[in-house]
Amino acid sequence: MSLVILAITSIASAKAIFTLINDPEGPNLLVVVGLAAVLYIITSAIYLSKLTSALTQPARLAAAVGFQVCVAGGFYLLLR
């Protein structure tokens, strides 16, 4: 269930990034899904790594979502 939550937040983060860029044509679906996949792979690697294995399940998920938001913010700053 936690990986599904990470997938949903990665899609929402990718959509938010391309909405904030203010492209007159709007965000391209393929690009949004591609960035969502990149975000999901990065955060699932953090979630499943030994770095977060000492945390409890809710804390582990919160750390992964927080990291995902930080990575999404970094991508936004790079793409802007």
pLDDT tens digits, one per residue of 43-80? 999 898 888 888 888 999 999 999 999 999 999 999 88
Cβ distance 17 to 35 under 8 Å? yes
pLDDT tens digits, one per residue of 14-29? 999 988 887 778 788 8
Question: Where are the domains positioned within the chain?
Answer: 2-79
Cβ distance 48 to 40 under 8 Å? no
CA-based nearest residue to 9, from 40, 31, 47, 44: 40
Q: What is the C-alpha to C-alpha distance for residues 64 and 52, in angstroms, rounded to an integer?
A: 9
* Strand residue runs (E) in 21-70: none
pTM: 0.86
